[in-house]
A and B are shown apart, each in its own frame.
Chain A
Amino acid sequence: MAQLTYRESVSLAIAQAMRKDPKVFFIGEDVGAAGGVFKATVGLLDEFGKDRVMDTPISEQAILGAAMGAAMAGLRPIAEIMFSDFLAVCWDIVANQIAKTRYMSDGQINIPLVIRTANGGGSKFGAQHSQSLENWSMMIPGLKVVAPSSPGDVLGLMNSAVNDPDPVIFYEHKSLYASKEELESTELSIPLGQSNILHEGSDITIIGLALMAQRAKKAAIELKEKHNINAKVIDLRTLVPLDLQSIKSAINETGLAMTVEENPRLCGWGAEISSLITEHCFNNLKGPVTRLTTPHVPLPSADILEDNTIPSVDVIVQEVIKKVKGE
């Protein structure tokens, strides 16, 4: 048994990958000597040295370009983009180059790399250091999209991501770094495309990701204890590949569905999930799919403003009650 934080799981997962495969290296801003601005990569420089843990200048295009080129030459880079918001300054490398080069080259080029990035709100950092951007990468053919919600999932999904032959964007949630989990083993592997049921129930299916999956689980516990409502909670874990079969089974059982997303409303990942549910489960639905998102606004900074923008446990509970009671 080992108790690990989400933050510790990140450095352990990277270390495990680097111990197993000398082709794996790690680059990013302040990742080595400083151990990462979220202290999620502490100890890696000491264990692996400067040749495999490289501090870079503030040059996001150069970081991801170098990772891409190295992957094309057979290495297995893990690159950090400090905040997911910064993906905007290197989006050409992500969306045009990393995502499309395998296809355009007719499969001549493989790009096995992992882009790790700190994602999501809760830290009152304001609109440019708090976004949840999984949907940006979900809509680009050629990118796999992972967003773990627990320390064990960080270990298991990073293991799969590093060994995956395709590019993976690995969204770590800032507000989960301090979360803890007792693990029977730290040697974990979770296939990409396999969702996880965090809470069983037959009245409604709540579908979440990362922090929102954990909040949905808390809401489900409260709904059962205080409101006699049994909610099934699915943590998608990965958006691409998507575990559509598990979503279908759950909706066909419960007949009601709700997505809980940390992104603004328009074109959030839940829109695609909602569309798939309508397409595949229409005859078993008892009502329309509900999407809980942030309002369609940039994320504000002050406590009361941010807290009221991101779906909270209370809001999830209230919305589920309305939904199940048919209000």
Chain B
Amino acid sequence: MVDITNDDIGESNRLALWEMMLKLRLVEKKAYDLFLQNLIKGTSHLALGQEAIAGAFGVSLQEGDYTFCTYRGHAHTLARGSSIEGVLGELMGRQCGLMKGKGGSMHLTDVDKGVMGSYAIIGAHLTIANGTALASKYNNTKEVSVCFFGDGTTNIGAFHEALNMAQIWKLPIVFVCENNLYMEYTPIGEVTAVENPAADRASAYNMEKIIVDGNDADEMYRTAQAAIKKARDGDGPSLIEAKTYRHSGHSRADPGKYRPDEEVKDWMENKDPITNYRKRLLEFNIDEEIISEIENKVKEQVEEATEISKASAIPDVKEIFTDVWADGGYKWHN
């Protein structure tokens, strides 16, 4: 039961979380539909079911903060305020895409919004996120860097190199492990020496063990706020392990058959972050009409952005030859 007399989050923050999570959910669903219509090619890794994590950080970060995400990064990109048509357009390979089709689903980047890239080789971006954090420390500015990754990342070397370096240099960074229980197709517990793949490693880097219900938007919000504040205050890095579950398979190619039906059903029906948050809003006596209004508004936004993306031109073939170098070109000899 919630304690509505002692509300540390407040209605406006809750509605912001609600709107954010809905946007992430509905855009991912739309991405799935567009696949079925063959309007999106290549691969995609949907974050359906994991919206509370990106959502909580999205509403908690400030302009100028840096985020780094993985190939499962549509939601994290949208959470920083990137346009829906920028994301869907990139997935569809259109000119309105964030990178005009040059990166695709796994590499969404929107520097103006602090989205410093989506990284598709496991582990690399933890080390790179240290770099923006190092720059903030070097310049004595107060940005925070946040790096999202999955449970599978905790078993690659770069994870360990990055955590050690972040701690010895007391960098203003938050590492967020989204533990969705499966490393691609394999249960993470079968291939990991510890029960909590990120949190149980924290002590090795002199960090606090933080485990949070990643499907509880309020809990995620509190945890995000605390870690961001710690980084901004100059008190060093945090490592958060958020327990969650993806509703669909690992990628477009995966129907997720390796997961027990009962387990999937439990997470979909009882632990869905969005269904549960709607109930939470009502428990806090937020007017259902306001909740529904936001739902309708987001639905409209997603439909409108989908139409913009569909109408957007395909990129000029000349784009192949641009932006290898800072001079805009690709020439390698005189």
Contacts and interface: CB of A to CB of B under 8 A. Distances in A.
Interface of A: 25, 51, 54, 56-57, 59, 61-62, 64-75, 77, 92-93, 96-97, 101-110, 112, 141-142, 165-166, 193, 240-245, 276
A96 B334 contact: no
Interface string B208-249: 000000000000000000000000000000000000000000
Contact of A97 (B128, B168, B326): B128
A101 B218 CA distance: 35
B313 interface: no
B333 A61 contact: no
Contacts of A68: 127-128, 131
A26 to B, nearest CB: 12
B112 to A, nearest CB: 8
A102 B334 contact: no
Contact of B121 (A57, A73, A77, A96): A96
Interface residues of B, number: 52
B127 to A, nearest CB: 2
Contacts of A242: 332-334
Interface in B120-139: 121, 123-136, 138-139
A73 B136 contact: yes
8 contacts: A54-B169, A69-B130, A69-B131, A93-B124, A103-B324, A104-B117, A105-B103, A166-B326
Interface stretch (B27-35, B47-55, B158-166, B279-287): B158-166
Given A65-B126, A92-B121, A240-B332, A104 B102 contact: yes
Contacts of B292: none
Contacts of B127: 61-62, 64-66, 68-69, 93
Given A66-B130, A92-B121, A97-B128, A61 B99 contact: no
Contact of A245 (B116, B131, B136, B334): B334
Contacts of A243: 333-334
Contact of A65 (B131, B139, B324, B332): B131
Contacts of A245: 334
Contacts of B66: 73
Contact of B333 (A25, A75, A108, A244): A244
A155 B136 CA distance: 30
A30 B53 CA distance: 39
A59 B156 CA distance: 13
Contacts of A104: 99, 102-103, 107, 109, 117
A101 B117 contact: yes
Interface in B302-334: 319, 322-328, 330-334
B14 interface: no
B316 to A, nearest CB: 12
Nearest to B141: A73
Contacts of B135: 69-70, 73-75
Closest 6 CB pairs of A and B: A69-B131, A65-B127, A165-B326, A73-B135, A107-B323, A62-B161
A74 B331 CA distance: 24
Given A109-B116, A242-B332, A97 B134 contact: no
B103 A106 contact: yes
B53 to A, nearest CB: 22
B111 interface: yes
Residue in B145, B165, B325 with the greatest tally of chain A CB atoms within 10 Å: B325
Contact of A109 (B109, B161, B332): B109
B41 to A, nearest CB: 16
Interface string B268-312: 000000000000000000000000000000000000000000000
Interface string B167-210: 01100000000000000000000000000000000000000000
Contacts of A244: 333-334
Interface string B56-79: 000000000010000000000000
B134 A66 contact: yes
A66 B131 contact: yes
Contact of B124 (A73, A97, A103, A241): A97
Contacts of A73: 66, 131-132, 135-136
Given A69-B116, A102-B326, A104-B99, 10 more contacts: A25-B138, A57-B161, A66-B165, A69-B131, A101-B109, A101-B117, A103-B102, A107-B322, A165-B325, A242-B333
Nearest to B97: A106
A59 B160 CA distance: 9
B149 interface: no
A57 B132 contact: no
B324 A141 contact: yes
Nearest to B66: A73
B323 A70 contact: no
Nearest to B99: A106
Contacts of A240: 332-333
Contacts of A61: 123-124, 127, 157-158, 161-162
B119 interface: yes
Nearest to B166: A62
Contact of A103 (B123, B130, B134, B323): B323
Contacts of B161: 57, 59, 61-62, 65
B151 interface: no
Nearest to B168: A57
Which among B125, B128, B139, B161 has the greatest number of chain A C-beta atoms within 10 A? B128
Given A96-B121, A141-B324, A193-B334, A69 B99 contact: no
